[in-house]
Amino acid sequence: MKDAKDLISKLLGDDPKEYKKAEVYLKNLIIRISRSSGMEETMRKFLGEDWVEDVASEIKYKILTKKAELLRKEELKISYIGIMIKNTLLDLYDKNLLSISLDEQRAEVVDVQSLTPYYKGIDSQVELDQTYNLIVSSLSDREKMVLCYYLRKYLYGDVEELKGISKDNVYKTWERTKKKINKILEYRLSESELKMIVERLLSEVCNYRSYKNSED
């Protein structure tokens, strides 16, 4: 990558090949920085084997929310992304350190309504579609999996427990996912709007992407 602006442009662009190259570059940078700072094993312990994807998702979300500001800068060195990665690693460390002693039973708490902080309403279907797309693009595969798990648990009752991830990590991922969605949403969805978002998530993410954990 020439510089951080080049990386950001490719991560936010429409070219899937360039996006993939940029994503691989970002993940390699995350691994290199985590190793040099002694954080690699800690992140793996807290987030599991997919920790690089989780960190990359956090970075992409931060870039997405600052897109206009970042692309306006005349010069943006790759070291800017390095600093962002270091800060994200520290943030994740602090969050997980505080919650490491949580009772695993808290993973059973389901509060889908807490996904949105307060109500203002959406003016158009276009804006609703944009909001949905922003939510989906901002979540890692693990966050989508956990979101689907909680949506199905909330709507349909008991579902099969997620495999390959502890209850404590499920809970921590759910908390991180809610916070991420809350940052995207600046309003509380009305009942009909929430229903539309949830139905699309269940149909387009949970079922089509094989995140369903039990048969209806």
As for how many domains the chain has, the answer is 2
**Is residue 23, in this structure, part of any structural domain at all?**
yes
Is residue 190 within 8 Å of residue 125, measured between CB atoms?
no
Residue 212 lies in a domain: no
Whether residue 214 is contained in a domain is answered as no
62 and 137 co-located in one domain: no
Clarify whether residues 89 and 122 are in a common domain.
no
Containing structural domain, residue 65 = 4-99
In a domain, 215, yes or no: no
pLDDT tens digit sequence for 136-150: 888 888 888 888 888
pLDDT greater than 50 at residue 216: no
Burial bucket for residue 115 (CB in 10 Å: 0-12, 13-18, 19+): buried
CB–CB of 131/186 below 8 Å? no
Q: Are residues 45 and 124 in the same domain?
A: no
Helix axes 4-12, 16-36, angle to 10 degrees: 130
pTM of the predicted model as reported, rounded to 2 decimal places: 0.50
Per residue in 47-75, pLDDT tens? 788 889 888 888 888 888 888 888 888 78
In a domain, 114, yes or no: yes
The total of other beta-carbon atoms located within 10 Å of residue 27's CB is 15
The angle at the Cα of 160, spanning 49 to 134, to the nearest 5 degrees, equals: 60
Return d(Cα 55, Cα 27) in angstroms, integer: 8
Q: Which residues contact 118 (CB under 8 A, 6 or more apart)?
A: 187, 188
Last residue of a domain, one of 99, 132, 157: 99
Measured CA to CA, the distance from residue 214 to residue 149 in angstroms comes to 10
Instruction: Tell whether 72 and 32 lie within a shared domain.
Output: yes
Q: Helices marked H in the chain — which ranges?
A: 4-12, 16-36, 40-47, 51-65, 67-72, 78-99, 125-138, 141-156, 167-184, 191-200
Residues 19 and 70 grouped into a single domain: yes
Residue 64 lies in a domain: yes
| pLDDT for 124 | 60
Domain stops at, among 72, 99, 126: 99
- Residue 66, helix vs strand vs coil: coil
Which of 35, 70, 99 is where one domain is finished? 99
